[in-house]
Amino acid sequence: MAVPYGTRFEAAFDQVFPMGALMVGEVAPDMEYMSQEDKARGKQAKQKIDERSGKRQWKVVVTDPSAEKERDASVTVTVLADVQPVPPHAVQVMPGVEVRPVAFEGLTVEPRVMGDRFKYQGFTIRATGIASLQAGTPPKRENKPAGQQGQSEQKTAA
């Protein structure tokens, strides 16, 4: 069975971020690459548009506390929306340090080969919206009968 390149798989928030996600920084437009020559010519950068939905792309950098590898601890989620999403209010964890516990709606993942010198399996993560996740409140979990493993549990057991 061949899966076409660019296939996006729907995923539940707690499958992708089992311990939740902490937003770092602000929501920023995802801009197209511009060469130095184009910049020198005075060409204006354009915001990327999702080829499937036709919506603008916005980047959100989050920290994944459940990441097993250092390279997976910081994740960029692309939010597809006509207007810039408004993130939830920040929570101060210590003086001068604020985080935003977030949840993503309409999450999809797309498998990709990543890395420059050493290749590895990675994912492009997209969402249709940002929601508030209360600090100290674990993400919703699906109740599963004893003996059945979730997808994230299977990944660590292999």
Domain ranges of the chain: 9-132
pLDDT at 158 over 50: no
3-state secondary structure of 18: coil
148 sits in which H/E element? none
How many residues are listed for the chain in this entry? 158
pLDDT at residue 69 in the model: 87
Map residue 76 onto helix, strand or coil. Answer: strand
| pLDDT number for residue 13 | 95
| pLDDT single digits (tens) 34-48 | 888 988 898 898 999
Over residues 18-29, the pLDDT tens digits come to: 999 999 889 999
Q: Taking 60 as the threshold, does the pLDDT of residue 149 lie above it?
A: no
pTM, two decimal places:
0.77
pLDDT(105) > 90: yes
Sole residue written with tokens 């069975």 = 1
SS3 (DSSP) at 65 = coil
Distance (Å, rounded) from C-alpha 140 to C-alpha 130? 15
Indicate the pairing of strand 129-132 with strand 56-63.
Answer: unpaired
Give CA–CA dist 89/71, Å, rounded.
27
Of the listed ranges 67-81, 85-99, 136-150, the one predicted with least confidence: 136-150
Average confidence (pLDDT) over 85-100: 89
